[in-house]
Structure 1
Amino acid sequence: MDSNTEVVLAARAGLTGWDALVERYSRLVWSVPRSFRLSHADAADVYQCTWLCLAEHLTRIRRPERLGAWLVRTATRQSIAVLRTRGREVSLDRWEPVSVLPQPDEVVVTNDRQRRLWTALMTLNERCQRLLCIAAHSPELSCAQVADALGMNVSSVGRTRTRCLSALRRKLEGLR
């Protein structure tokens, strides 16, 4: 099975097609919650929820060639929902002994650097945000997989990433 249309039609028809879908997109779906730095358990929940959503909507997928982008959007929404929920909880496994805690000045510098980076990233367009998050947190994905996930032409992934990084650098310089 070569095209997404063939794989989606096979998945609608039976388990063999579903296995082909999971094999084709498993790494991509896993990369999304990883890019949000979710715990392994939360990432596994997002992964499962994403596939469950696809199973529920498989017969309504109108453009199978865009399935990668649909999966990334769904996993992104699931990841954000988990972050919102987890942001209200205090995790005991994140507590560290006092002896290994960073110095207060290191925390301030790190937090300021992270705040500036995220502020600059959030001012970029959604395509750049998604491309840079995938590139940063899932460097093992091929250009073809990234292009499929973002609905881009494979040959434009590198140029677009370069433009997005340049725009991010300019935004960061403006925040100093």
Structure 2
Amino acid sequence: MPYDLDLLDETAWRDLVSRFGHRMWAVARATGLDPADAGDAVQAAWLRLLESGHTIRDPERVGGWLITTTRHEAMRIGRARAGARPSGLPTDLPPPSGADPPGSGGGDPVAALLSDDQGRRLWAAVDTLPRPCGALVRLIVLAPDASYAQLSRRLGMPIGSIGPTRIRCLKRLRSLVEDQR
């Protein structure tokens, strides 16, 4: 199913989480991360989609983008934890492409349930953000190609404060999600 990243709403976001969350988790774990660090890598990939989804040229390939971004984030976290570059992926784990998508009848149903729960928790955290953060994060998701001028008019904020506010809001969102663990 192709995704129009310009019109991504809560239902489409949940569909993305349902379709790709389990595979993203498998990719992060396949790099050798423990469950907590794998969760951080997956979360970072979702945040990258929030921040730069508008740069994806072919929305039909958002799944591949998410998987690749998760792998990059997992390897970054692994390097930071080890203090050195990883030598490669573990050879005793199945390849990420062998992971069953949620709802297919295969795979780990607990992992699929956790992935759905993470999506619900993310949106619940967005709902708790104060104004203008909640509105700004929603606009970033719903209209990622919106210019700062458009966001400024919609939110009643100076154009120069959109970028710094966006950074603070995403950091606050990350903190809220981490506090839920």
TM-score (norm 2): 0.46
Whose RCO is larger (CA < 8 A, sep 6+)?
A: 2
Larger Rg: 1
Where is the helix percentage greater, Structure 1 or Structure 2? Answer: 1
TM-score (norm 1): 0.48
